[in-house]
Structure 1
């Protein structure tokens, strides 16, 4: 059954539940409603499924037009995300993983998205944390909101709004969201229009998850990787990453755990903790995940090639020369972690990258050795052969022109759709995933 159709077949409206809604700056729930009395939350416990996720990164000025280093003070942050599963209740997850001190969240709302920074009238729900409107997240900590009754459809967007009254200091964020995030001065968490939100960027801040409950109980698929998984080269604001294309095709929640520039074996000040270190937090701890797809390693073997080609090596850019056996050892560690938690793992071959700044004699040899091991070792539960799916028939070392975003490394929208089709085939035909 189509995911969006499931919402139509099982509607759950605010009116039938007598909810407290925030419309503009006023809340109503029928006659004599007290706006401060009750948030739009439900108290009973239920199983959660992650419907959207983003992997947190350290604050950095190294990315264009982001607010992570300066943080926020007496400002409202409005973030629009596309969920991949339907549900009748929702909660958000927030991270202060890289905060230098406690993070004070003065208040938060969730709503169905409108155009830009606007939200759908009548859908704004006030979120609480342990029954309270505000919360404090300790440094290196995280939290989840209480559930809010909100009918969410698969492949629909929800808007999460955070009001930060005090100075936050540098902010834990996800650098490359490829979707607009909005900021306004003052408290605008309950605004329906987007008029106050006169600044925008394409990063996400503090928000690392949106979970749904009361939806179908199907295991989530988490896509783990670097900028290719993150969606670099896709059309910004259009939800054309390969995770989005896959979510459109399969009847399972799909989560994106990519970080641009990320490596399997080395930490980076800009590009996040190494894959073997962050895999548990960003994939295995996500509620409802039963399958992980690992597509990572091109930076491990390609950064050193870029350095040899004359690119200046910044301090954030680890560039040791990595062997196939070292990279395979990293994959084995990811497989070990996943299997210890009962999660199945699909190994994805590295895409062709001939002609890119990551390519060279050493990288080409290691890539071929690694891809051969992924295909033949049997250590992964299944294999998605993106290398062959996107290769140029005239030159298999290169990505096919129709799939190339222009840098010979990252796919375009059509390339990401091709990856999703290949992964759909694997998920539907392999008995192990």
Structure 2
């Protein structure tokens, strides 16, 4: 059995790899909706389907036990081109190895890259990664709001192409943090969409890849601009404070979820709504309910800008969407949103601005999300709204040196 890297640091990446897909990892928690993070897995196989926004001829995956409290033993793993549901395309299943071994032990806090396998993929291909756990894993490092199904079955199903037996589903991803690609067709550059549930895709149609970063990737491809789009959103995420449900604060996870990804040229930041809203409601799930000022949020944004520029990465500021009518909204919250948005638009500190708020505002009320773009909760867009958000982004701003 291969032994993965210890000590809670990111596993080293060999040169020559490009980002194909990634997600931001979270602590095990109940979250919203059923998930398996707290119970983990035992003598089961987990099949997870992700859609690449850049392809290649070779692939590898990164598995994360960042928030595990004990070593994670993976008894077998494979990658394949996905078909319908839990099925994969026959003839495309590739067994994964780790340092030449078919099994791997990932210490608590550790991560591991698989060895490379030959797998020809194109942009927007769905890829299935199947992991088998021969014994109990304990609580699982995961991404809560995937908005696409993952599948669970008993026994080792890593070599099977059919979807039979994968009867249990959840809308989360577990342990899988990255798929990277190399070879013909791999994009050299990437843009990261960074933020909270609006970036994560809450309110989009599950299983259809209609989040705003997905729509942005399709727009880039249609215009012949070869950039991978990575989604580093976490539902409920805060700029200034950690949350047991909603991930490490954006300021602390920015390096690992954005700056450390390969080939990143630009990042689009859309965060701050939850910092404002959580301090205005008294519900246990929204802790910490600490007060936050517009000045503190601006200081947090400036921290992101400074760190991006230190790495030579362009950073685009997204204005905070209207949310009147939601449980977060009151006059104090609206004043903070208006002040932060005015700074994003007018300060000149971001390299460019994506004025999401102006594009999605109701024509009859400047504090309200346009009804045609509202998913129904008065703060998250639906599919149409996410398409509009993707259309607001200045593609030239992503490609400038």
Give me the whole-angstrom Cα distance separating, in 2, the residues matched to 1:56 and 1:62: 13
Query: What residue in structure 2 maps to residue 291 of structure 1?
Result: 266
Give ranges in structure 2 of 5+ residues lacking alignment: 1-13
| Residues 257-282 of structure 1, C-alpha deviations (whole Å, 9 max, x = no match) | 00000000001010011110011111
Matched, 1:279 2:259: no
Residue correspondence of structure 1 range 322-401 to structure 2 within 5 A: 322-401=292-371
- Superposed structure 1 runs of 4+ greater than 6 Å apart: none
Matched, 1:59 2:56: no
Question: Which of residues 208, 212, 215 in structure 2 aligns to 1:238?
Answer: 208
Query: What residue in structure 1 maps to residue 58 of structure 2?
Result: 89
Give me the whole-angstrom Cα distance separating, in 2, the residues matched to 1:47 and 1:234: 34
Query: What residue in structure 2 maps to residue 70 of structure 1?
Result: 39
Question: Which of residues 148, 164, 182 in structure 2 aligns to 1:179?
Answer: 148
Per the normalisation by structure 1, the TM-score is 0.86
Give ranges in structure 1 of 5+ residues lacking alignment: 1-44
Query: What residue in structure 2 maps to residue 111 of structure 1?
Result: 80
Give me the whole-angstrom Cα distance separating, in 2, the residues matched to 1:170 and 1:58: 9
Query: What residue in structure 2 maps to residue 33 of structure 1?
Result: none
Displacement of 1:427: 2.2
| Residues 3-26 of structure 1, C-alpha deviations (whole Å, 9 max, x = no match) | xxxxxxxxxxxxxxxxxxxxxxxx
Q: Give secondary structure in 1 for the equivalent of 2:140.
A: coil
Give me the whole-angstrom Cα distance separating, in 2, the residues matched to 1:386 and 1:75: 43
| Residues 294-331 of structure 1, C-alpha deviations (whole Å, 9 max, x = no match) | 10000000112223xxxx334x6211121111001111
Give me the whole-angstrom Cα distance separating, in 1, the residues matched to 2:385 and 2:41: 37
Matched, 1:190 2:159: yes
What value does the CA root-mean-square deviation take over the aligned residues? 1.3
| Residues 371-421 of structure 1, C-alpha deviations (whole Å, 9 max, x = no match) | 111011111111100010111111121111110001110000000000001
Query: What residue in structure 2 maps to residue 200 of structure 1?
Result: 169
Matched, 1:269 2:244: yes
Residue correspondence of structure 1 range 201-216 to structure 2 within 5 A: 201-214=170-183, 215-216=185-186
- Verify the 8 A CA contact 1:382 1:432 in the aligned structure 2: no
Give me the whole-angstrom Cα distance separating, in 1, the residues matched to 2:200 and 2:336: 23
- Verify the 8 A CA contact 1:222 1:293 in the aligned structure 2: yes
- Verify the 8 A CA contact 1:382 1:430 in the aligned structure 2: no
Give me the whole-angstrom Cα distance separating, in 2, the residues matched to 1:118 and 1:237: 15
| Residues 32-57 of structure 1, C-alpha deviations (whole Å, 9 max, x = no match) | xxxxxxxxxxxxx6511111111111
Aligned length, in residue pairs: 382
Displacement of 1:353: 1.1
Q: Give secondary structure in 2 for the equivalent of 1:257.
A: strand
Query: What residue in structure 2 maps to residue 313 of structure 1?
Result: 284
Displacement of 1:228: 0.3
Give me the whole-angstrom Cα distance separating, in 2, the residues matched to 1:183 and 1:161: 9
- Verify the 8 A CA contact 2:360 2:385 in the aligned structure 1: yes
Which stretch shifts more, 129-138 or 115-124? 129-138
Per the normalisation by structure 2, the TM-score is 0.93
- Verify the 8 A CA contact 2:189 2:263 in the aligned structure 1: yes
Give me the whole-angstrom Cα distance separating, in 1, the residues matched to 2:194 and 2:218: 18
Question: Which of residues 88, 94, 116 in structure 2 aligns to 1:125?
Answer: 94
